[in-house]
A and B are shown apart, each in its own frame.
Chain A
């Protein structure tokens, strides 16, 4: 992002005091997970500080999202089974989902659709890296899928008039979301999202992947994650899992993000069966739905 663009974002959103901050619990868990010396006991202690966090983690561990056949009864065994990185993801997801919970119906922003799209992307991104043999990106790809469009919420909640203008342009002039927001704000949701992630002290590769999730070829240090998010986004839209209808149809094989994934993949992607992958997405999306409803569920 250029200095100009950064300044525009600072001017528009930087002074907003109600801008959500990541709960300290989530931050602490992220830090813990990054630290090679931390143990599961450390993280268990942390999680028990948050009132509903432990019960939600248990619910998720027991859901068909993971499909374990045995019941996971307590936080300790959930942590053992899921592992530190997976738990970090869940904590992050639950925190972020609940930060932006409020739904303003009739304002053009459908929270339910938004999170369904995001969770869908998360799950599809993870499945995509597994199927292309890019296992080292599995966990991060889920996180990034979940938050890639966070900039859109920021626009809606803190610059609502312009958000409505953007929606209007998309509907009236048949523009894409990206073109419409640049016309109105001179910056896009990917840049705004990465600006917020920076404020939240996210790891640099995630900040960069958010910024380039629509043009992964421009990313310097996070090309794979940006590409995976970009492609997962298209797959979700092909499943009609889009936030605002503006998707007109796209080829995967021509996509620059796809080419980046292919180059990096250990598998022979020329044989990657895109059709079959699309068919199988129904299951992934059902899982994502479940993840969302548990994460957002009432605090019991």
Chain B
């Protein structure tokens, strides 16, 4: 007497054929990317996928599913599909529950650990930082959390991305209001200066905390130079890689993480089947991965 799924009523898919195919594609996406669309997100999943179906001039999701699996272009279609399913865009304070866990559990734990060891360094790495909102957000959170005590810590925040145009924007540190839609007035006032055209420039003391550099996660010679990272943020990036490559990248992350350090990924992403070493921790509102101490 297991309860039946109730989503079909909400989405109007009513157990029909299309609904079944969409679920198959959903599972296929999860298998290929670790990106998961819960049943209450299936509407948006469908909308985003139909963009691809239209562009390819296919007639149904079933044809699309077939195309994905069997077309010689299926592999490259995967990339296009992921692009459609995730948004390339980023913003300040993008995922509040995860950031709460970062400033609560994660930073508290690391600071205790460091204090015990008589160390005062904290190194944070934002992989795939795009136009810089993510690492700047982390800098602002540290400033907010530590207040005056920030001088007692040696904080390094690094942002890396494969897109040099994105990195240029990051370096400039000028953002429009849309980028700041999740940020409170208070935060904007304290950490930004208004510039022309309703844009905002990040203040110098925050900019100084973040260092940007070119990064290709697939390039082991770059990854090989990284070390002793306490927290790795890698949100909405792994989805672009093949299963095999994701495994390699995750194990590289493990190598560059300090013992007791953390890896944080996107909210609908999963390392299931990719990860042998990290420990999954359930925190209030977010999942995090921790390296053994």
On whether the two chains bind one another, the answer is yes
> Using Cβ atoms and an 8 Å threshold, which residues of chain A touch B283?
238, 247-249
Evaluate contact between A276 and B39: CB separation under 8 angstroms. Answer: no
Evaluate contact between A138 and B270: CB separation under 8 angstroms. Answer: no
Proximity bits, B5-44, A CB within 8 Å = 1, else 0: 1111110000000000000000000100010101110000
Evaluate contact between B30 and A276: CB separation under 8 angstroms. Answer: yes
Evaluate contact between B272 and A275: CB separation under 8 angstroms. Answer: yes
Cβ of B202 within 8 Å of any chain A Cβ, yes or no, is: no
Contact partner of B287 among A67, A83, A238, CB < 8 A? A238
The complex places the Cα of A153 from the Cα of B8 at a distance, in Å, of 37
The complex places the Cα of A130 from the Cα of B2 at a distance, in Å, of 8
Proximity bits, A66-109, B CB within 8 Å = 1, else 0: 11100000000000001101100000000000000000000000
> Using Cβ atoms and an 8 Å threshold, which residues of chain A touch B280?
251-253, 274-275
Nearest CB in chain B: distance from A262 CB, A: 15
Evaluate contact between B38 and A252: CB separation under 8 angstroms. Answer: no
Give chain A interface residues in 197-252, CB to chain B under 8 Å. Answer: 234-235, 237-240, 242, 245, 247-252
Cβ of A28 within 8 Å of any chain B Cβ, yes or no, is: no
Name the CB-closest residue of A to B101. A249
Proximity bits, B191-211, A CB within 8 Å = 1, else 0: 000000000000000000000
Evaluate contact between A249 and B284: CB separation under 8 angstroms. Answer: yes
Evaluate contact between A239 and B287: CB separation under 8 angstroms. Answer: no
Evaluate contact between A237 and B284: CB separation under 8 angstroms. Answer: yes
> Using Cβ atoms and an 8 Å threshold, which residues of chain B touch A67?
3-6, 8-9
The complex places the Cα of A85 from the Cα of B280 at a distance, in Å, of 36
Cβ of A59 within 8 Å of any chain B Cβ, yes or no, is: no
Cβ of B268 within 8 Å of any chain A Cβ, yes or no, is: yes
Contact partner of A283 among B30, B38, B101, B268, CB < 8 A? B38
The complex places the Cα of A247 from the Cα of B285 at a distance, in Å, of 10
> Using Cβ atoms and an 8 Å threshold, which residues of chain B touch A276?
30, 36, 270, 272
- Other than the given A66-B6, A237-B282, 5 more pairs (CB < 8 A) read A68-B4, A82-B1, A238-B284, A274-B272, A276-B270
What are 15 A-B contacts with C-beta separation under 8 Å? A64-B10, A66-B3, A67-B3, A82-B1, A139-B1, A237-B284, A240-B284, A247-B284, A248-B105, A248-B283, A249-B282, A273-B270, A274-B272, A275-B271, A287-B3
Task: Report which B residues bind A (CB closer than 8 A).
Answer: 1-10, 30, 34, 36, 38-40, 97, 101, 105, 268, 270-272, 279-285, 287-288
Task: Report which A residues bind B (CB closer than 8 A).
Answer: 64-68, 82-83, 85-86, 130, 138-139, 234-235, 237-240, 242, 245, 247-254, 273-276, 278-280, 282-283, 286-287
7 smallest CB-CB distances across A and B, nearest first, come from A64-B6, A238-B282, A275-B270, A67-B4, A249-B283, A67-B6, A240-B285
